[in-house]
Structure 1
Amino acid sequence: MTGTDLDAAGFGAGFSFESLGEGYSVCVSAEHRFGTDAFLLAEFSAPRRKDSVCDLCSGNGIVALLMSRNFHPERIYAVELQDKAYRQLCLSAKESNAYEILPVHADLRQWRAQTQLDLVTCNPPYKVDNTGIKNDSDEVTIARHETMCSIDDVCLAAKRSLRYGGRLCICNRPERLADVICSMRANGIEPKRLRTVQKDRSSDPWLILVEGRLGGSPFMRIESPLYIKGENGEPYSEEMKRIYRLG
């Protein structure tokens, strides 16, 4: 379906679809696209087939789509506040025939799942409000800065909906690691796994992946770094080829 088709359907201008393979497609726009971090978060969270899952700050639905394609959990609530992103999320789920994805147009600060969840994922805004350069688009600013949603909000929302022992998986920038850990613990979610992501072996981490368990006992496993590039200058490491499904 093209942007013109979407206009005719009454969904507004500027939408298009990008194929994810295996019959899955994600609806993208200038304001709401996706990056490598979405693939990494979906892979890191690895829901089970019987799991009830929620993806907070779902945007155009990319993380929910990847979890559906790769792991086939029983249901995935995909919660998004912004109108345009929510429309893209609905279109993504419909175009992909991903009926287990349940789009939710809501503010995560007030939302609670109808059933206890096994897993909550979130790719939240990375930048603290009133820091850094803000985009002219309010939609992009909300997606990148904590104007409408903070790490504390995410952890509290997860606490409300997770079953005891349920997992929260978050990706963020390395400089926010202390904020993620402190907020998890403040909400009774014990950090259990940490993995850093580096472009190559000589570079500093540019992303962190953190898993916590509601009511878990103190013990965190630090996993080996994930490298984007291969050892001999290849664009992708073997692990990234597997994550991207490049053969």
Structure 2
Amino acid sequence: MSITCGQSSTCGAGVDNLEPPPCCQESETLDQLSGYDLRIIQPRHGYRFSVDPLLLADFAGVRAGESCVDLGTGCGVIALLLARLCEDCSVAAIEFQQAVARIAERNVVLNGLSGRVEVVEEDVVSVKSRFPVDSFDLVVSNPPYRRPGTGKVSPRAGRDDSRHESTAALADFLAAAKYLVKPSGRICLIYHTSRLAELMAQAAQQKLAPLRLRMVHGNSRMEARMFMIELAKGRSGELRVEPPMMVRGEDGGYSEEKLRIYRGRG
């Protein structure tokens, strides 16, 4: 289900390659999410965003007037999507890799969202030094899902930091989310299914209640590799398991739901 943007043969509908503007370096590419009127600068050979940010932004369903925070924003895709999906929300985009945070800042400026999206260079384990408790209505995150020392080591600079737990583990992301979210707020994550049981156990330790769960499949014959979950602080309720998300249909083409998400507001 991984869709690497910037490569026209795999991106699919809604993601277009553009000629880089003068602000782009030779080591970068410029891609467009046409359904959201967004242009995204990202490393040519480092970590490149996949379909996951679009699925998570759609799942989160940002609401009018909400204050939002993206933990581990990367080049800022989820934060920018939230800002486009809701014209009167504000977004803090937290990223600990300095070089990546600089790209996120340039993407904010490039898309004219400087007044609504703020990039904060900080590690998730240190959010208490930058924000008061209960600061946000919505916390979103696509945390690294590989434990240190597992999986293949990527030769691409920055890619391992985005996929492997280097400076922060899953427990740190959940603790930061709990600290930042308001009691009436929501936490929405997308994560690898191999760690679903662990996430549920750690959420229970943090007294975060699961409210919604949705599995993401490549197609109806494939096992789910990712899932999206909504958690809440200080609230309880029955867990609602939503119909699964299929990236591709029976004919091998992109599913109608995925195409709808890519079309965005277009």
TM over 0.5: yes
How far off is 1:214 after superposition? Answer: 0.7
Structure 1 counterpart of 2:42: 28
Structure 1: tracts of 5 or more residues without a match: none
Structure 2 counterpart of 1:191: 210
SS at match of 1:6: coil
Structure 2 counterpart of 1:154: 173
Structure 1 counterpart of 2:227: 208
Q: Does 1:129 align with 2:148?
A: yes
Q: Does 1:65 align with 2:80?
A: yes
Q: How many residues align?
A: 242
TM-score of the pair, normalised by structure 1: 0.91
Alpha-carbon distance in 2 for matches of 1:97, 1:16: 19
How far off is 1:5 after superposition? Answer: 2.6
User: How do 1:156-171 and structure 2 match up within 5 A?
Assistant: 156-171=175-190
> Of 218, 224, 236, which residue of structure 2 is paired with 1:217?
236
- Kindly provide the amino acid, as one letter, of the partner of residue 231 in structure 2: G
Alpha-carbon distance in 2 for matches of 1:73, 1:171: 24
The answer to whether the 8 Å contact 2:192/2:226 transfers is: yes
User: Greater shift after overlay, 19-28 or 174-183?
Assistant: 19-28
TM-score of the pair, normalised by structure 2: 0.85
- Kindly provide the amino acid, as one letter, of the partner of residue 217 in structure 2: Q
Root-mean-square deviation over aligned CA pairs: 2.0
Alpha-carbon distance in 2 for matches of 1:6, 1:95: 9
Structure 1 counterpart of 2:111: 96
Structure 2: tracts of 5 or more residues without a match: 1-17
Structure 1 counterpart of 2:6: none
Structure with bigger RCO (C-alpha 8 Å, 6+ apart): 2
Q: 1:227 to 1:73 in 2, by over 3 A?
A: farther
Q: How big is each residue's C-alpha offset from its partner over 1:123-150, in whole Å with a ceiling of 9 and x where there is no partner?
A: 0111111111112345211111111121
SS at match of 2:126: coil
> Of 106, 114, 134, which residue of structure 1 is paired with 2:122?
106
Q: How big is each residue's C-alpha offset from its partner over 1:107-128, in whole Å with a ceiling of 9 and x where there is no partner?
A: 1110143562111000011111
